[in-house]
Structure 1
Amino acid sequence: MGPLIRPLRSFANGLGLAWWARVQTHGPDVTYWFGPFVTRGSLERELPLFLEDVASEAPVSIDHSCLRCRRGEPFTIPASDG
Structure 2
Amino acid sequence: MIRNFGNKLGLAWWAKIETQQPNTIYWYGPFITKRSLKESITHFLKDLSDEGSVNIKYTLIRCKKEEPLTV
Give 5+ residue unaligned stretches, structure 1.
1-6, 78-82
Write the distance in 1 (CA, Å) between the matches of 2:26 and 2:32: 18
4+ residue stretches of structure 1 with deviation over 3 A? none
Give 5+ residue unaligned stretches, structure 2.
none
When the two structures are superposed, what TM-score results if normalisation uses the length of structure 2? 0.94
When the two structures are superposed, what TM-score results if normalisation uses the length of structure 1? 0.83
Give the letter aligned to residue 39 of structure 1: T
Write the distance in 1 (CA, Å) between the matches of 2:14 and 2:64: 8
Instruction: Pick from 3, 20, 31 the counterpart of residue 9 of structure 1.
Output: 3
- Higher Rg of the two aligned structures: 1
Tell me the number of residue pairs that the alignment of Structure 1 and Structure 2 aligns.
71
Q: Which residue of 2 aligns with 1:4?
A: none
RMSD of the alignment, in Å? 0.8
